[in-house]
C-alpha cells in the first residue's frame, strides 16, 4: 500500500504536465474492448483518478475484436485487445501494456493437475473425450471456450494450433462466464486470463510449468499473449487520453499492473 501511494504521488506532477486540463474542467476518455483486461484496467483507472481527478476514464468490456473496431471507427479513444493486431486490421496501431498468461482451468475437484500443449489441443479438438484418458476420473470432458472475436480465444487457439478446429460445448462472451461455468461443472475445462483466476477454479500446469508472473516474463510458460492499447493511426489522441496512455505504459504503473495479476513490460 505504501509503495502504491508513493507511485501515485511521484507520478502526479508528471501526469499533470501531460493532461493539459485546466482547473475545474473535466475530460472523458472512452476505452472499450478486451474483458480479460478488466482487472488491469480497473487498477489503472482507479489509480489514475487519484493523480488526475479531472479526467474520467470509461471502460466497457466488449471483447478484443470490438475494441479494435472501436479504435478504427473512432467510437473509443483507446481500444483494448488481449491479442496482437492482424495484418488486415488497418488504420490502427498497438502499444503493449502488459503480458498475460492464458491459464488452463478446471474444476477444483478434478484430480488432473498437468497437461501438455498436445493434450490440451486434443481435448479441445475432440480427440480426447474422457478424463480417464488423462489419468482423471471417468467423466465426459466438457470444453468451454470464448466467442469468435475474443482475444483470449485467438491467443489460445494460435498457441495450441487449434484454429477453426475446436469443438466447444459452450462459447461464452466474457472471462467471468468461463470461470463460473468451469467452477460449476466437475468435468469442464476452459481457458482464461491468468489475472482473472480465482479460488473457484484450478489452474493447471502446462508441461510442468505453472502460470505465474515469473514464468510468463521469462517465457517458460508457453500459453501467453500481450495486453494492448489500440490507437488510431490517423486521429491524434486528446491531451487527457495521451496522458493516460503515457502513464499506464510507464514504469510508474508497473506495480499496479502486477498487482492486477498481469506482467508489466515497462
Cell of 40: 488491469
Mean residue pLDDT of the chain comes to 91
Helices (H), 33-116: 38-51, 64-73
2-99+226-264 with 100-224: one CATH topology? yes
pLDDT band at residue 149 using 50, 70 and 90 as cut-offs? confident
CATH number for domain 2-99+226-264, candidates 3.50.50.60, 3.40.50.2000, 3.90.226.30, 3.40.190.10: 3.40.190.10
Give the pLDDT score at 261.
87
Half-sphere exposure of 139 (CA within 13 A, CB side): 17
Q: Does domain 100-224 have CATH number 3.40.190.10?
A: yes
Other Cβ atoms less than 10 A from the Cβ of 248: the count is 25
- For residue 156, pLDDT over 60 is answered with yes
Residue 79 bridge partners (DSSP): 32, 230
Measured between alpha carbons, how far is 143 from 171 in angstroms, rounded to an integer?
9
Judged against a pLDDT cut of 90, whether residue 25 lies above it is answered with no
Judge whether residue 131 has pLDDT over 80: yes
User: Measured in whole angstroms, how far is the alpha carbon of residue 132 from the centre of its chain?
Assistant: 32
174-190, pLDDT tens digit by residue? 999 999 999 999 999 99
* Cα 135 to Cα 156: distance, rounded to the nearest angstrom: 23
Rama region for 75: left / alpha / beta (φ>0; ψ in -120 to 50; rest): alpha
DSSP reduced 3-state for 265: coil
* pLDDT score recorded for residue 26: 67
> With a threshold of 0.75, does the pTM exceed it?
yes
Confidence of residue 23 (pLDDT cuts 50, 70, 90): very low
Domain ranges of the chain: 2-99+226-264, 100-224
pLDDT in tens, 211-227: 998 999 899 999 999 99
pLDDT value, residue 13: 36
Amino acid at each position: 500500500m505504501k509503495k502504491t501511494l508513493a507511485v501515485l504521488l511521484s507520478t502526479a506532477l508528471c501526469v499533470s504536465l501531460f493532461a493539459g486540463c485546466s482547473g475545474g474542467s473535466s475530460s472523458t476518455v472512452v476505452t472499450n474492448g478486451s474483458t480479460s483486461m478488466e482487472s488491469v484496467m480497473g487498477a489503472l483507472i482507479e489509480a489514475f483518478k487519484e493523480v488526475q481527478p479531472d479526467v474520467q476514464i470509461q471502460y466497457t468490456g466488449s471483447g478484443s475484436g470490438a475494441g479494435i473496431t472501436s479504435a478504427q471507427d473512432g467510437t473509443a479513444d483507446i481500444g483494448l485487445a488481449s491479442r496482437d493486431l492482424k495484418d488486415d486490421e488497418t488504420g490502427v496501431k498497438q502499444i503493449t501494456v502488459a503480458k498475460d498468461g492464458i491459464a488452463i482451468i478446471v474444476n477444483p475437484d478434478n484430480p488432473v493437475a498437468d497437461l501438455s500443449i498436445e493434450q490440451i489441443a486434443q481435448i479441445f479438438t475432440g480427440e480426447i473425450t474422457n478424463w480417464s484418458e488423462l489419468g482423471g476420473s471417468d467423466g465426459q470432458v466438457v470444453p468451454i471456450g470464448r466467442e469468435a472475436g475474443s482475444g483470449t480465444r485467438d491467443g489460445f487457439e494460435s498457441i495450441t494450433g487449434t484454429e477453426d478446429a475446436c469443438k466447444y460445448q459452450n462459447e461464452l462472451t466474457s472471462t467471468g462466464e468461463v470461470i463460473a461455468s468451469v467452477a460449476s461443472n466437475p468435468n469442464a475445462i476452459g481457458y482464461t486470463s491468468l489475472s482473472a483466476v480465482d479460488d473457484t477454479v484450478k489452474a493447471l500446469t502446462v508441461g510442468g510449468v505453472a502460470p505465474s508472473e515469473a514464468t510468463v516474463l521469462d517465457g517458460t510458460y508457453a500459453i501467453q499473449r500481450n495486453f494492448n492499447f489500440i490507437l488510431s493511426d490517423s486521429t491524434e489522441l486528446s491531451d487527457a487520453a495521451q496522458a493516460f496512455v503515457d502513464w499506464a505504459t510507464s514504469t510508474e504503473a508497473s506495480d499496479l499492473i502486477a498487482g492486477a495479476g498481469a506482467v508489466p513490460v515497462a
